[in-house]
Amino acid sequence: MASNAKILVVDDEPDTLELIRLILESGGFKVIPASSGVEALKILETVRPALVLLDIMMPDMDGWEVFRKIKEKDSSISIAILTAKSQNIDKLMGLHVLKADDYITKPFGKNELLDKVRILIDNK
């Protein structure tokens, strides 16, 4: 596993962002938090993370738009959707239309999140 791999976590809910940060840091990852899509895109101008965990439902710019903008700039960045949107149509959009690397639904367990992140980073 790539220890200290940088993971950009994008979520507009402060409690969720903090929970994800704690989980990932307990697994040895370095977390770069962003509370909006606009903030995430700004961070990506200077930082290249090993993985982006991206919420979909955000107020300033939804995750689908953020996903497209990230991939336009660097198609090789791994992005996992991390969202409460659990309907099949949303999963199809994320995995098959946009080609996200994974689709993780909230709520998630600590081990589930860590396992998925490790797999995504190790397979890069």
Q: What is the pTM of this model?
A: 0.90
In a domain, 1, yes or no: no
The answer to whether 6 and 32 are in contact (CB under 8 A) is: yes
pLDDT of the residue at 1: 47
pLDDT in tens, the chain (124 residues): 456 899 999 999 999 999 999 999 999 999 999 999 999 999 999 999 999 999 988 888 888 899 999 999 999 999 999 888 667 676 666 666 678 899 888 889 999 999 999 999 998 7
Structural domain of 17: 6-122
pLDDT of the residue at 99: 82
In a domain, 14, yes or no: yes
Domain at 98, CATH number: 3.40.50.2300
In a domain, 55, yes or no: yes
In a domain, 15, yes or no: yes
pLDDT of the residue at 78: 95
Query: How many structural domains does the chain have?
Result: 1
